[in-house]
Amino acid sequence: MQTIGKLSKTTGVKVPTIRYYEEVGLLPEAERSTGNQRLYGSATTDRLSFIRHARDLGFTLEAIRDLLSLSDTPDQSCAAADQIAKAQLVAVRDRLARLRALEIELERMIAQCAQGTIADCRVIKVLGNHDLCGHEHSQKDQAVQ
Amino acid sequence: MQTIGKLSKTTGVKVPTIRYYEEVGLLPEAERSTGNQRLYGSATTDRLSFIRHARDLGFTLEAIRDLLSLSDTPDQSCAAADQIAKAQLVAVRDRLARLRALEIELERMIAQCAQGTIADCRVIKVLGNHDLCGHEHSQKDQAVQ
DNA sequence: CTTGAACCTCTAGTTGCTAGAGACATTAAG
DNA sequence: CTTAATGTCTCTAGCAACTAGAGGTTCAAG
């Protein structure tokens, strides 16, 4: 059992953010000490690290809720879990493709820089390239995120 | 020359968001028609697509500002550009590693689902794994994003 | 048993949009 | 050439996901 401060340090999630996640239901309500302070077991560390990474990768709290539900209700219908997993997989692959393109371009720029010039920066072109992302740029699509 | 609505459609960025980006300086102030409506050339399409993708990949507007500065000021010192590019490259690679791990896990789950069970979901473990991300989980680090 | 760090709740502010009101501009149809 | 529909304008307000601060309580080291 650890306090919220310890949990914050091990996961890198700020203390108020942890309380916020509890408030919005991403974390279960914590046990309390006799003096009303939150106490956490090690399972929360994993869960919170997961949330942190997923947020950092650009997933919304809603998407994260979906992903967590895969873990939380292992006995739910496979069809439902499958649908969630597949939708998220599409989103993940899409991001991978674009990140790879950006990686290559940054590498190119750094290499060019070593030769003393960055006159032809194509960093904008790279992510502007439609072919790299498998989806349309529609309003609907944007909302999904 | 296209109107803001057309630009919105081709890039998938909502009209008010485009105006917002202009307001915060990510887009230059647009030319205006005689009737005071914004008009955009094709360069803005690329720039806006870039911003959209970068946002979607989880970069902050500040990080995007940095990346755009590589394009905007090709005559700036190579050392500065190099530093920005290298920092962003580290961030990009970090994300790639974690996204790949998540991809693999989602694939595994979907495969397992095809066999009728998802009893052992390890989706949380995957992103909770410290070894996959090259950075410490410190407050400072979190602020950088 | 005290004192200073860590914790509590609650309210308010920040970032990055997003939606709505009310007014002007543009376009296409009659 | 008018008029209706659609698009755009500015401005204000709201939402998501935090983040910081005030004012008070708890804990744990000395």
pLDDT on residue B114:
62
- pLDDT digit string (tens) for A8-33? 999 989 999 999 999 999 999 999 99
* CA gap B125, A110 in Å, rounded: 34
- pLDDT digit string (tens) for A107-121? 877 776 666 555 555
Mean pLDDT of B47-58: 81
Query: Residue A139 pLDDT > 70, yes or no?
Result: no
Coil vs helix vs strand at A102: helix
Query: Residue A123 pLDDT > 60, yes or no?
Result: no
Domain B4-72 has CATH 2.60.40.10: no
User: Which of the given ranges, B63-67, B75-79, B123-127, has the highest pLDDT on average?
Assistant: B63-67
Check CB contact under 8 Å for A58 and B56. yes
Chain A: closest CA distance from residue B27 (Å): 13
Query: Residue B39 pLDDT > 50, yes or no?
Result: yes
* CA gap B95, A132 in Å, rounded: 17
Query: Which of residues A32 and A54 earns the better pLDDT score?
Result: A32
Mean pLDDT of B13-41: 94
Nucleotide nearest to B16 (CA to C1'): C18
CATH number for the domain whose boundaries are A4-59: 1.10.1660.10
Check CB contact under 8 Å for A89 and B106. yes
pLDDT on residue B126:
57
Check CB contact under 8 Å for B46 and A128. yes
Residues of chain B found within 8 Å of residue A18, distances taken between Cβ atoms: none
Which region among A88-92, B17-21, B131-135 has the lowest average model confidence (pLDDT)? B131-135
Query: Residue A58 pLDDT > 80, yes or no?
Result: no
The domain spans of chain A are 4-59, 78-144
Nucleic strand C under 7 Å from the C-beta of B61: yes
SS in 3 state form for chain B?
CECHHHHHHHHCCCHHHHHHHHHCCCCCCCEECCCCCEEECHHHHHHHHHHHHHHHCCCCHHHHHHHHHHHHCCCCCHHHHHHHHHHHHHHHHHHHHHHHHHHHHHHHHHHHHHCCCCCCCCHHHHHHCHHHCCCCCCHHHHHHC
